[in-house]
Structure formats: C-alpha cells, structure tokens
Amino acid sequence: MGEFLRSRRARLTPQDVGLRAFGGRRRVPGLRREELAPLAGVSVDYYVRLEQGRRVNVSRTVLDALATALRLTDSEREHLHNLAKPGRQSVAPRRVRPPVQHLLDAMGGVPAFVLGRRMDVLAWNDLACALMGDFAARERDARNMPWIIFMDPRSKELYSDWETVAKEVVAYLRLDAGKYPDDPRLAALVGELSVHSEQFRRWWAGHNVQEKVHGSKAFRHPVVGELTLDYESMALPSDPDLIVVAYTAPPGSESAERLRRLETGTNGRHRGGEPLGLPAFAGHDRA
C-alpha cells in the first residue's frame, strides 16, 4: 500500500489540488506528505506510517478521504481499499461449469471466452480461437492473457495497438493482485514476466490499476485482415471470479463481414485440432 500511495502522490502537483507549493525548491516531483495529509484530514505522522507500511488500523472513512485527496479513479479507490484490508483468499476456480461452456458455444458469430483469476483463460468457443489462436493447443499454464501478451511474440502482430492492450492487461492484473495479495500463482506469473519482459517490469512498477469492462480492440488477423471489434466483460453472479468476454462488430461493417468469414472457416476445429487463424505458441509450463 505504501508503494501505491507514493506512486499516486508523485503524479500530483500542489497546483493540481489548489495549493501553493510547500517550501522551496523540490527535489522530487509530486505532492509532499506534508501537503497531502491535511487534504485527507489526517496527521502527517499518521500518513507517514501508512506509506512506511507500519501496521495502522485505517478506517474506510480515512481511505475514502485519501482517495479523494489523491484524485483516485474508481478502480484505484477499490484497489486502495483492497490493499488496506485484504481478506478474500478463496480458492480460484480453474474450470467452468458445463452450462457456461454451452453458453459460449451457443454464441454464434461472437468470439467469447472466460477469464478467471490472474486473467487465466478457462473456457472459449471456436470463434475465439479462430480470432486469437488455439487456446486448446497451449499448455495449461500458458492459457493466460498476460503470459500470451508478453511471452508470445505473435501477440504483437495480432494487436494493432499492442502497447495499449499490454498496459491495460498490466493495470487489470495489478487490480487482481490487490484483491488476492497472497496468491502464489499470481506471484509466480509476475515474477516470470518481470524476468522476461522489461516492458512488463517497468509498467508493473508504475502501480497503475484499471478495470476495463468494455471498449474496442483492433486486430491484424493473418487470414481475414484488419478488424475492429467491440468487447463487453460480464461477471458471472454464481462465480464472481469468472468474467465472460465477448467481441462483436457493428452490423453491416467491414469488420462484421470479416468476422463472418472467419466463422465460416472454423467448423469446430478448435477442440484441439488444426487452428484456422493465428497458431498458438505453446510455451512452457510455469509449474
């Protein structure tokens, strides 16, 4: 929590919060602790103890005051609360219920898949594989979106704006880490990506968090060419750690036509068979 608070404090200036600069020349950018603490209604000593990671019984009211003073987004506010009071350590599901798979298979013309904790890809339909590569051909521990983005070189060819996609993945993974700080598999994933990717290591150190539940992505598909698809992410009420992600194209658009062409070539070939589009890079097992 201390690292997160320091990173958010560093991006603000006194002018951002309606203050005149405190003292003389600044050695480091951002608000000083002496400037932030009064804005949150706490003593400087109390705030210093928070940043130093010393055990402090911090209330929800104080956390909300800090979030307001630091101009945190909704995702960052949630992340701060999770860091201050971690407690959800339930076992993460590693497979989905059969009716959920039936739902994915019934979504004709819609690439769809299920993400679990750590952004593990737990289930998918054929069109998702035709669009993004055959998940079934990957080793189980390589069925993970952060791993695919940073460890599979083909992801830079598939996503037209790879850097934006990668930063969003890191920010979402940070949010997940705040909810489950003692998850050993997440720690192993972060460690592996930090070792192998300088970009991941730098963006992870930035402590940015973001919950992206809808938006659009541009793809450069090796078979049907460029597509721009909208996506929606929907949590399953019965399994709150599971998210269904579905891609659609505006009706009548060129992307819709290319997505239709992609669908006609699947014919159920992604239950471990020959992939139609982007082949999977199997990788190695982190276990």
Residue 79 pLDDT: 83
Q: Is the pLDDT of residue 285 over 90?
A: no
Question: Per the domain annotation, does 33 fall within a domain?
Answer: yes
**Which residue from 278, 281, 283 is spatially nearest to 128, judged by alpha carbons?**
278
Structural domain contains residue 275: no
Helix axes 2-10, 44-51, angle to 10 degrees: 110
Same domain? 117 vs 31? no
Residue 24 has pLDDT above 70, yes or no: no
106 in the same domain as 80: no
Total structural domains within the chain: 2
**Is there a domain that residue 196 lies in?**
yes
**Cα dihedral sign for 151, 156, 157, 158?**
positive
More reliable by pLDDT, 28 or 203: 203
Q: What is the pLDDT of residue 161?
A: 96
* φ/ψ of residue 116, rounded to 5: -105, -160
Q: What's residue 229's pLDDT?
A: 98
pLDDT tens-place string over residues 263-274 = 987 654 444 333
Percent share of the chain, pLDDT over 90: 48
Give me the CATH number covering residue 127. Answer: 3.30.450.180
Structure tokens at 108: 């004709």
Q: Indicate whether 8 and 134 sit together in one domain.
A: no
Yes or no: say if 31 and 11 are a contact pair by the CB < 8 Å rule: no
Q: Please tell me the distance from the alpha carbon of residue 271 to that of residue 232, in angstroms, as a whole number.
A: 24
Answer for the pair 266, 127: CB distance below 8 angstroms, yes or no.
yes
pLDDT in tens, 163-207: 999 999 999 999 888 888 888 999 999 999 999 999 999 999 999
pLDDT for 287: 35
Same domain? For 19 and 66 the reply is yes
Residue 87 contacts by C-beta under 8 Å, 6 or more apart in sequence? none
Helix (H) or strand (E) holding 231: strand 225-236
Query: Does any domain span residue 150?
Result: yes
**Residues 252, 156 share a domain:** yes
Do 18 and 136 have their domain in common? no
Q: 218 Cβ partners below 8 Å, 6+ apart?
A: 159, 160, 161, 226, 227, 228
* Predicted confidence band of residue 228 (pLDDT cuts 50, 70, 90): very high
Query: Measuring CA to CA, how many Å separate 15 from each of 21, 31, 85?
Result: 7, 9, 31
- Measure the CA–CA gap between 133 and 82, rounded to whole angstroms: 34
Least confident range from 87-101, 111-125, 244-258: namely: 87-101
Using CA atoms, how far apart are residues 263 and 265, in angstroms rounded to an integer?
5
Q: How high is the mean pLDDT of the chain?
A: 85
Concatenating the DSSP letter of every residue in 99-150 gives HHHHHHHH-TT--EEEE-GGGBEEEE-HHHHHHH--GGGS-GGG-BHHHHHH
The pLDDT value recorded for residue 25 is: 63
Residue 257 domain-assigned? yes
Per-residue pLDDT reduced to its tens digit, 112-163: 999 999 999 999 999 999 999 999 999 988 999 999 999 999 999 999 999 9
Instruction: Give me the amino acid identity at 247.
Output: Y
Q: Tell whether 270 is covered by a domain.
A: no
User: Is the domain of 185 the same as that of 60?
Assistant: no
pLDDT per residue as tens digits for the range 46-57: 888 888 877 667
pLDDT of residue 23: 54
What range defines the domain where residue 52 resides?
Answer: 2-84
Task: Decide if 92 is inside a domain.
Answer: no
Asked if 131 and 245 sit in the same domain, the reply is yes
Looking at the structure, do residues 21 and 133 belong to the same domain, yes or no?
no
pLDDT value for 86 = 63
Same domain membership, residue 71 and residue 129: no
Q: Do 232 and 116 have their domain in common?
A: yes
Residue at 249 is within a domain: yes
Last residue of a domain, one of 35, 53, 84: 84
Q: Are residues 195 and 165 in the same domain?
A: yes
What's the rounded Cα separation, in Å, for the pair 80 and 200?
21
Coil vs helix vs strand at 77:
helix
CATH (domain of 48): 1.10.260.40
Write down the pLDDT at residue 54. 73
Distances (CA, A) of 246 to 18, 105, 127, 217, 228: 43, 12, 10, 12, 13
